[in-house]
Amino acid sequence: MLLAVDVGNTQTHMGVFEREVLEHEWRAATVQQRTADELALLFGQFLSLADLSFSRQITGVAICSVVPRATSELREMTERYFGFPALVVEPGTRTGISILTDNPREVGADRIANAVASHEMYPAEPVVVVDFGTAITVDAVSANGEYLGGAIAPGIDTSATALFLATAQINRVELVAPGTAIGKRTMTSVQSGIVFGTAALVDGLVERVTDELGGSARVVATGGLAPTVVKHCRRVERIDPQLTLNGLRLIFDRNAEGGSS
């Protein structure tokens, strides 16, 4: 069984695969200060919920992380408690796709995993991947499986927090869509601006990226906050909450098989 771990700035998404099937998944807050031993305690508790442990069933660990300190501690945890090294998505890792950016080393590992999974999903079509996290990323993948680059915008929660901190008379609100775009109260006006505004931002970026891909592309969304926004988007056709984890599984398999980079 494979343990796949996607470490974001806000949340860590982890899942256990039995071959190609995601059998279990969990989410936890990302805490950069956690040591390898603390991570072992956290992961051990999650695994025990599925009657798994460090010494049974898990035969591989694949990691993509945008938090360098967490990456280091996860490497140490895997070697110490599982007894083998983790596969970490980083420069030099076989992915099966080409990265056609000015500096491939600076592309986030999660964006690469998303590109791998989306190309596997739509192998002969260009794809736009929208990932709703601390930041919203909108990435372009060619029909030939090339990662072309993309756009980065503030995430919905990031934008909302900045608004609440910068304004004295606007209080925090639940990040849900109001009944209408025209708010009649401050609360619903803020909800409209944040939720519908984020949806419009995503639609606008998707439209521009799609135009640059030739005018047509499949559009898939992922990330923990995707369901909040995607239902109000006009250009996103599918949500796949496990996209990044599936990309990690594919990358792990390609490295185990000695596939091409």
Could you give the residue numbers annotated as active site? Answer: 110
Q: Any bridge partners for residue 222, and if so which?
A: 131
Which residue type does 255 have? N
Q: Any bridge partners for residue 7, and if so which?
A: 12, 65
Q: Are strands 98-99 and 127-132 parallel, antiparallel or unpaired?
A: unpaired
Residue from 107, 181, 97 nearest 150 by CA: 107
DSSP assignments along 92-117, one per residue:
T---SSEE-SS-GGGS-HHHHHHHHH
CB 80: neighbour CB atoms within 10 A?
12
Q: What is the 3-state secondary structure (H, E, C) of 202-240?
A: HHHHHHHHHHHCCCCCEEEEECCCHHHHHCCCCCCCEEC
CB 131: neighbour CB atoms within 10 A?
27
On whether the CB atoms of residues 151 and 193 are closer than 8 A, the answer is no
